[in-house]
């Protein structure tokens, strides 16, 4: 098993002054959504801002390479349209209404204009096997050009963090982690290597896996630990014990 010394050499802990803000907020998972206020909508983000919460959002890529704020790969669950998000250009996606509301699919540019630095924003870049995540990373970086508010990018895919480390090193970058059925042993080795590849400044950890020896070790060496998705008061208590900040929704919001 690689040692803590290998961690320090391969993926040094970030400067605390650069990342300390991550643990100073609670974050609304896909915005502060509720019936009539869809997830990842401008209305949900406005509600989070009014509540004084940071924001977590998801990025899919349009056919013309724009960063769109939408969680799923397909349109069906969240809209009355169908098919892949990536099959439509940004202009077409921005005309699609989110179910149960007058909100439409927003671009990352629209979300950043709304937030305008009032609260921090965590931008999760979606990826999967065979996907060219670098194109999405470039789209996100372009939209962040000149944005002065607190922000960070994160992904389950360590290649996203690696891309930002090489092409936008000033951007705070995180690795999203779920241990699922791979706790200890080989699972910890895989997570450690992913943290190295991502050059992670922080981890966003599945609340179901906490407490975790791996997460605790990374936190102890200086990586802030956020946790998702906190959906109940009980999970909020667990987050308070084992992480620096919750990414919460519903009854998990304090």
- Cis, peptide link before residue 211, omega less than 30° from 0: yes
**If you write DSSP's letter for every residue of 49-101 in order, what string do you get?**
HHHT-EEEEEEEE-TTS-EEE-S-SBSTTTBS--SBGGGS-HHHHTTPBBTTS
What pLDDT shows up at residue 181? Answer: 67
Q: Which H helix or E strand runs over 111? A: helix 108-115
What pLDDT shows up at residue 94? Answer: 98
What pLDDT shows up at residue 2? Answer: 53
What number is the average pLDDT over the span 102-122?
Answer: 98
What pLDDT shows up at residue 3? Answer: 56
Domain with 33 in it: 4-252
What pLDDT shows up at residue 220? Answer: 97
Q: What percent of the chain has pLDDT over 70?
A: 97
Q: What percent of the chain has pLDDT over 90?
A: 92
- Say which CATH number the domain at 247 has: 3.20.20.190
What number is the average pLDDT over the span 191-205?
Answer: 97
Total domains in the fold of the chain = 1
Distances (CA, A) of 46 to 2, 30, 37, 189: 44, 11, 10, 40
pLDDT category of residue 1 using cuts at 50, 70 and 90: very low
Q: pLDDT averaged over the chain?
A: 96
pLDDT above 80 for 185: no
The CB density around residue 37, as the number of other CB atoms within 10 Å, is 19
């Amino acid at each position: 098993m690689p040692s803590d010394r290998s961690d320090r050499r391969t993926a040094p802990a970030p400067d605390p002054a650069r990342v300390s803000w991550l643990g100073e907020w609670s974050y609304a998972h896909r915005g502060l959504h509720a019936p009539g206020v869809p997830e990842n909508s401008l209305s949900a983000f406005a509600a989070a801002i009014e509540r004084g919460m940071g924001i977590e959002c998801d990025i899919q890529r349009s056919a013309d390479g724009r960063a769109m704020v939408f969680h799923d790969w397909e349109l069906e669950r969240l809209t009355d349209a169908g098919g892949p998000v990536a099959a439509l250009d940004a202009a077409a996606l921005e005309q699609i209404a989110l179910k149960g509301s007058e909100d439409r699919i927003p671009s990352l540019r629209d979300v950043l204009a709304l937030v305008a630095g009032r609260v921090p924003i965590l931008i999760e870049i979606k990826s999967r096997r065979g996907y060219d995540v670098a194109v999405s990373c470039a789209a996100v970086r372009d939209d962040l050009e000149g944005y002065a508010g607190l922000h960070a990018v994160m992904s389950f895919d360590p290649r996203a963090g690696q891309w930002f480390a090489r092409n936008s090193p000033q951007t705070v970058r995180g690795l999203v982690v779920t241990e699922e059925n791979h706790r200890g042993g080989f699972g910890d080795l895989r997570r450690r290597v992913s943290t190295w590849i991502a050059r992670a400044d922080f981890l966003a950890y599945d609340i179901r896996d906490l407490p975790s020896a791996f997460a605790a070790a990374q936190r102890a060496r200086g990586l802030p630990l956020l946790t998702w998705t906190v959906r109940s008061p009980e999970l909020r208590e667990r987050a308070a014990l084992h992480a620096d900040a919750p990414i919460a929704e519903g009854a998990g919001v304090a």
